Amino acid sequence: GQNIDQPTEMTATEGAIVQINCTYQTSGFNGLFWYQQHAGEAPTFLSYNVLDGLEEKGRFSSFLSRSKGYSYLLLKELQMKDSASYLCAVQNRDDKIIFGKGTRLHILP
Amino acid sequence: DSGVTQTPKHLITATGQRVTLRCSPRSGDLSVYWYQQSLDQGLQFLIQYYNGEERAKGNILERFSAQQFPDLHSELNLSSLELGDSALYFCASSPRGGTGLSGANVLTFGAGSRLTVL
């Protein structure tokens, strides 16, 4: 089976840095995604990792360790508009994509 | 506008009824995925179609069925509705599906259909 775990909620301050962790167990791993979802809206793609290491994209970075079944999303210079849910998702070799329950991030001024 | 169109946006119905949700994928995409999102469960994978054929099944109830038509649009049918079926139903599309390619299979989501069962 597949299992994806991430914290339910996190709170951070505007301008700060926050790290959202994700651990997963799956067979046929073929990559890990992070999606952002604002309340009541559709998820939108943020990042994809398939090899170990850090991928940086502007204020957002994503890290993967395949041997540990672990990923994190790092958000720097937090802005109020970053208040959203962040979804970790695993892609397997038949292109099935399974999502975790998401982490609701609250940004305080 | 993501290019993925879902109708209806909102639907209110009664227990025991049947509804059909419709999805048109982004131009050029061959795969359609259906997800159910309720408050405590996150995005639950229901089913995936690729070029008209079912490719993968998730936690889809027997009361639910789906298909993808030759023009690649898809419909999700929900029958004998229960209160617990109230949720946001998302459709997503992608260019590929289970073809064994490496690389990211990025999903583009529609705006969702919010179903309320009373």
* pLDDT classification of B101: cutoffs 50, 70, 90: low
Give the per-residue pLDDT at A95.
79
Q: Inter-chain contact B43–A50, Cβ cutoff 8 Å?
A: no
Q: Dihedral through CA B23, CA B26, CA B27, CA B31, nearest 10?
A: -80
Which residues does A108 contact at the CB level (< 8 Å), separation at least 6?
A11, A12, A13, A14
Which of B45, B96, B104 comes nearest A31 by C-beta? B104
Cis status of the peptide bond prior to B70, with omega within 30 of 0 = no
Residue B68, pLDDT above cutoff 90: yes
Using the Cβ of B106 and the Cβ atoms of chain A, whether some distance falls under 8 Å is answered with yes
Which of B42, B50, B90 comes nearest A42 by C-beta? B90
Using the Cβ of B31 and the Cβ atoms of chain A, whether some distance falls under 8 Å is answered with yes
pLDDT one digit per residue (tens) for chain A, 109 residues: 689 999 999 999 999 999 999 999 988 888 999 999 999 899 999 999 999 999 999 999 999 999 999 999 999 999 999 999 999 999 987 778 999 999 999 999 9
Residue B83, pLDDT above cutoff 90: yes
Decide if B3 contacts B109 (C-beta within 8 A).
no
Residue of B47, B54, B107 to mutate for A, most A C-beta atoms under 10 A: B107
